[in-house]
Structure 1
Amino acid sequence: MQPDLLNPAHIATLLQHFRRHSPLVHCMTNDVVQSFTANVLLALGASPAMVIEPEEAVQFSAIADALLVNVGTLTADRAEAMRVAINSAREAGKPWTLDPVAVGGLTFRTDFCRELLILRPAAIRGNASEILALAGMQAGGRGVDTTDTIRAALPAAVALARQSGAVVAVSGEVDHITDGERMLAVPGGDPLMTRVVGTGCALSAVVAASCALPGDRLTNVAAACGIMAQAGSRAVAASQGPGSFIPAFLDALYRLDGEALA
């Protein structure tokens, strides 16, 4: 399947939707990245909330516009909270997104994420090794780092999209996004984005929010990747290394201009 390049106008349109609709995103994400993820969503105009207690999660996921399930710091109690939140979101007709962090190398999270696939995520966002492992085609990468190329993961992404019904985004030097029938490529970003904690996890939150916004879901998820790539490229130009990159990145997100992107 040959990918098409994402039209930059779609990035501008999604950015406008973020600021017009301010989606409320229920982020069940890992402890390492909660603050950064919240700040990324706020910079784009979205509204984040980190609710993890099962009794509250089941209520909140029905209220929120979108749900993110990120298994970076998974525990048995947190897995149960995620299950009930997903079921509640599904009953309320709200989209949920899976970030299968480090799936493949660790049995508990791998079994859990594969179990969740029957609950029909709207989107799945991971690196090449995570997507290969989630699709059952390889054991996995080195912790949260990929050991596989984007090209190697594309057949797995297509198969996973067809199996789960999700839009699957594979992150890398050029992001590839597929719904199993179509594929979009999103260039941009910078290697410095891999030298700070949380850019991938925050991208998954932006993807989750995009699934609740108007428009074609494949295009929205690709545009979410495009927003982060554009902000990353601009932040690198304004920073001197990882320490100055994070504030520059948040500023770049906040200052992204839809007309200029289009």
Structure 2
Amino acid sequence: MFPSGLIQLPLRIKEQRPLIHNMTNVVVTNFTANGLLALGASPVMAYAKEEVADMARVAQAVVLNLGTLSSELVEAAVIAGRSANDHGVPVFLDPVGAGATAFRTEAALRILREVRVSLVRGNAAEVAHLIGETGAIKGVDAGEAGEAAPADLAARAAHRLGTLVAITGQEDVITDGTRGYLIRGGHPMLTQVTGTGCLLTSVIAAFGAVESDLLSAGAAALAYYGEAAVRAYERTGIEGPGSFQIAFLDALSGMDRHPLEEGTITALLESAGRGFVQ
């Protein structure tokens, strides 16, 4: 059963205003900053290798996003991640486009080798490529990874990578490899606004910054994000992605308590190594 006490997490974010150090991509920087501000967190974007260690040390969470990738970013990300590790700050990795090029895949794997990552969030194809499983991928917004069930793929990845794994798509899954949650909700309009996946990783980080149970915090963040999308669409209807984007930021800001609808979050249990069951 999902811990109902976590319905207060959005209010705790607003009260504590955790500092989230984002090393994100140039396409989504503004949207990510405004999304975190709407949620109640304090975003900072710092990339220079000369300062990222200091910034990560004082943050409550660090997000490493590989969307617009460069060798310099990878070097700085490793420095920031190690500093976060040294000071007990959780690190969240968004391996955008893993599998699209060898450089992207190796960059994500290097970070996973050299930094203790608390959680990886990606779509099915990105996660599959991180553990060497083939899957189709288009650009940096990958689709499904073959026929693998997302919950079982996430569990395999969690075991192999030694971290929590969240796979997002039509339904979202988060797991530590043994326990997990299936999250239903959200809205297809999220796919019409660039950066919603990247912002989601930072929102998960904000929830994790105020709750030490990162598995439950991640599930709560996924459900909250999906509900915000539903409320945004209900306000804007068919007006289009521009109006939806603004309404979505408003929805992130407007829910002080977590809208835990019955059936939104389902606990998954591993069945004797044969995969997850509900």
Q: Could you report, residue by residue, the CA deviation over 1:119-167 in whole angstroms, capped at 9, with x for unpaired residues?
A: 2211110011111111211255111223216953333311221223321
Residue equivalent to 1:129: 125
Please tell me the root mean square deviation across aligned C-alpha atoms, in Å: 1.8
Residue of structure 1 equivalent to 2:69 = 74
2:227 aligned partner, one-letter code: Q
CA contact (8 A) 2:174 2:218 kept: yes
1:23 to 12, 18, 21: 18
Q: Which amino acid aligns with 2:92?
A: T
The alignment status of 1:147 with 2:143, answered yes or no, reads yes
Amino acid at match of 2:30: S
Contact 2:135/2:144 (8 A) holds in 1 = no
Distance 1:172 1:259 in 2: 21
Amino acid at match of 1:121: V
Contact 1:131-1:153 within 8 A present in 2 as well: no
Tell me which residue corresponds to 1:195: 192
Contact residue 10 and residue 220 of structure 1 kept, 8 A: no
Code of the residue aligned with 1:48 in structure 2: it is: P
Decide which moves more: 250-259 or 232-241: 250-259
Counterpart contact for 1:123–1:211, Cα < 8 Å: no
Instruction: Answer whether contact 2:227 2:259 (CA < 8 A) is retained.
Output: no
Residue ranges of structure 2 left out of the alignment (5+ in a row): 262-278
Q: Which runs of 5 or more residues in structure 1 are unaligned?
A: none
C-alpha distance 110-15 of structure 1, shift in aligned 2 (>3 A): same
1:237 aligns with 2:208: no
1:37 matches 2:36: no
- Aligned residue pairs total 257
Aligned to 2:266: none
Moved more, 111-120 or 76-85: 111-120
Structure 1 CA distance for aligned equivalents of residues 151 and 137 of structure 2 = 16
1:93 Cα offset (Å): 1.1
Checking the alignment, whether the CA contact within 8 Å between 2:224 and 2:259 is kept in structure 1 is: no
1:249 is aligned to: 248
CA deviation string 1:71-120 (max 9, x = no partner): 00010111111111111111111110000000011111100111222222
**Residue 91 of structure 1 aligns to which amino acid in structure 2?**
D
Query: C-alpha offsets along residues 206-243 of structure 1, whole Å, 9 cap, x if unaligned?
Result: 11222222242110011111111010000011112101
- Find the aligned partners of 2:139 and 2:204 in 1 and give their Cα distance: 22
Q: Which residue in 2 is equivalent to 1:163?
A: 160
Q: Does 1:107 align with 2:102?
A: yes
Q: What does 1:76-91 align with in structure 2 at a 5 Å threshold?
A: 76-91=71-86
TM-aligned CA distance change 1:237 to 1:87, over 3 Å: same
Q: Greater relative contact order (Cα 8 A, min sep 6): structure 1 or 2?
A: 1
Q: Which amino acid aligns with 2:81?
A: I
| Structure number with higher helix proportion | 1
Aligned partners of 2:149, 2:131: CA distance in 1, in Å?
12
TM-score, L = length of structure 2: 0.87
- Provide the identity percentage: 41
Cα displacement (A) at 1:176: 0.6
